[in-house]
C-alpha cells in the first residue's frame, strides 16, 4: 500500500520552493529523496502533477506527495541470521555484527541488513524513506557493531525520526583508542563536514558543517612495559553525524584501534606482548560498539532501553589487555 503525504500551505511569506517546503514539513525524508520523487511525477499541487523541484508555492496550495512501495525486485532477500533483541508490531531492535552494511548502496545491493530483513516473511517495513532503505531510521557503519532500531510502519518511522532530530534518543558506544584522552572525560563540540580531500571521509570544521556533540569518559587506561597505551572509552552521542565518534576521536589525536579510514600510518609496536600485537593487527574493523539505545515507544510512549555486551572479537582484546596490564 502506497503512502500519501498531504499538506496545505498555511503560510509562505518567503515564497519557498516546493522541495524545501516538503523537506521542512517531512523531516524523515531527505532532500535527494524528495527531489527524485518530484522528478518521477509523484507530486501533485492543486490536483496537477508537478515535476519541477524548484517550483515556488503559494498560500493555500494543496500538496499531495506519493511515496511508492519499495520495489521488491530491487531488494533481493539475503539469507542471514539476524540477532533480533526485541520485536513488536511497530519496530525491531537488532544487534548488528560488524562487516554488514545497513542498506543497499553502490558496490553492495544484495548483502545488507535490509536484504536480510526481506528474507523474513513476517517482517514488514516502513516505506516512507528511500526505496532501498525501508525501515531504516538511523544507521551505524558497516564495520561498527551494536544496536539499531528499525521501523515496521510509517507511524514508527515518523515518531522515532523525530526523537533522533530532537536528540532525545539515548545512544552510548564503547571504543578502544590509542593513548590517553586529555582531559580523560569531557564534551567534544564541533562542526562536522565532508572532507575536501576525500569525499568518503568527514572532518572537523571551524566554519561550516553540522553541529556535532559527543560526551565521553575514559573507563580504563591500559599501559605498561609490554603493552601500548590504550584507553577504553564510553561515548554518549548528543547528535548523530556521519562517522561522528571516529571523527571526534581522530580530532583529539586518539584514533580508534582498527579504524582503517581515520588513522595514522601503522608503525611496528616495539617491545609489545606478541599476543596483544597480533590481536590488534588482525582486528578487521574499528573497535567501536553501539552498546546502549533507549527511546520512547512510538505508539505507547513507554521508555524502551536496550544494552548489548561487547562482541567476542572486541572482548578478547580487552581480556588480553587486562591480563597484561
CB-based contact 17:55 (threshold 8 Å): yes
Q: What is the pLDDT of residues 10-48, one digit of tens each?
A: 877 677 899 988 888 887 777 778 888 999 899 999 999
Phi-psi region of 243 (alpha: psi -120 to 50; beta: other; left: phi over 0): left
Q: How high is the pLDDT of residue 197? A: 87
Which residue in 19, 141, 259, 313 is the catalytic one? 141
User: What is this structure's pTM?
Assistant: 0.81
Q: How high is the pLDDT of residue 74? A: 66
* β-pairing verdict for 185-194 and 210-224: antiparallel
CB-based contact 29:130 (threshold 8 Å): no
The secondary structure element, H or E, covering residue 177 is: strand 170-178
Q: How high is the pLDDT of residue 285? A: 95
Q: How high is the pLDDT of residue 232? A: 98
CB-based contact 231:179 (threshold 8 Å): yes
Identify how many contiguous H helices and E strands the chain contains and give both numbers: 7, 14
The Cα 7–Cα 314 span in angstroms is: 48
Q: How high is the pLDDT of residue 112? A: 95
Q: How high is the pLDDT of residue 26? A: 82
Q: How high is the pLDDT of residue 317? A: 94
**141 noted as active-site residue:** yes
Q: How high is the pLDDT of residue 1? A: 52
Residues of the chain with pLDDT under 50: 73
Q: How high is the pLDDT of residue 71? A: 59
Q: How high is the pLDDT of residue 207? A: 93
Buried b or exposed e, range 192-221, using 16+ CB within 10 angstroms: bbeeeeeeebbbbeeeebeebbbebebeee
Q: How high is the pLDDT of residue 23? A: 85
Amino acid at each position: 500500500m502506497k503512502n500519501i503525504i498531504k499538506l496545505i500551505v498555511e503560510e509562505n511569506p518567503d515564497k519557498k520552493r516546493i522541495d524545501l517546503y516538503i523537506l521542512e514539513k517531512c523531516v524523515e525524508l531527505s532532500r535527494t529523496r524528495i527531489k527524485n520523487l518530484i522528478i518521477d511525477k509523484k507530486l501533485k499541487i492543486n490536483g496537477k502533477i508537478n515535476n519541477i523541484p524548484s517550483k515556488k508555492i503559494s498560500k493555500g496550495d494543496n500538496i499531495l506527495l506519493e511515496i511508492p512501495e519499495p520495489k521488491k525486485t530491487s531488494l533481493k532477500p539475503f539469507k542471514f541470521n539476524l540477532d533480533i533483541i526485541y520485536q513488536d508490531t511497530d519496530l525491531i531492535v537488532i544487534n548488528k555484527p560488524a562487516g554488514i552494511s545497513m542498506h543497499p548502496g553502490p558496490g553492495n545491493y544484495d548483502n545488507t541488513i535490509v536484504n536480510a530483513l526481506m528474507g523474513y516473511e513476517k517482517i514488514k517495513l516502513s516505506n516512507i524513506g528511500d526505496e532501498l532503505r525501508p525501515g531504516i531510521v538511523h544507521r551505524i557503519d558497516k564495520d561498527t557493531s551494536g544496536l539499531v532500531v528499525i521501523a515496521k510502519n510509517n507511524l514508527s518511522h515518523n515518531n522515532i525520526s523525530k526523537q533522533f532530530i530532537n536528540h532525545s534518543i539515548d545512544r552510548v558506544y564503547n571504543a578502544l583508542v590509542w593513548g590517553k584522552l586529555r582531559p580523560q572525560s569531557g564534551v567534544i563540540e564541533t562542526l562536522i563536514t565532508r572532507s575536501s580531500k576525500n569525499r568518503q571521509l568527514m572532518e572537523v570544521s571551524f566554519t561550516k558543517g553540522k553541529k556535532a556533540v559527543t560526551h565521553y569518559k575514559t573507563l580504563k587506561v591500559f599501559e605498561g612495559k609490554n603493552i601500548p597505551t590504550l584507553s577504553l572509552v564510553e561515548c554518549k552521542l548528543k547528535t548523530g553525524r556521519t562517522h561522528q565518534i571516529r571523527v571526534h576521536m581522530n580530532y583529539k589525536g586518539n584514533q580508534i584501534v582498527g579504524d582503517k579510514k581515520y588513522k595514522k600510518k601503522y608503525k611496528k609496536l616495539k617491545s609489545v606482548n606478541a599476543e596483544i600485537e597480533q590481536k590488534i593487527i588482525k582486528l578487521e574493523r574499528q573497535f567501536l560498539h553501539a552498546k546502549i539505545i533507549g527511546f520512547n515507544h512510538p505508539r505507547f510512549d513507554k521508555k524502551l532501553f536496550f544494552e548489548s555486551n561487547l562482541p567476542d572479537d572486541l572482548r578478547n582484546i580487552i581480556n588480553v589487555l587486562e591480563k597484561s596490564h
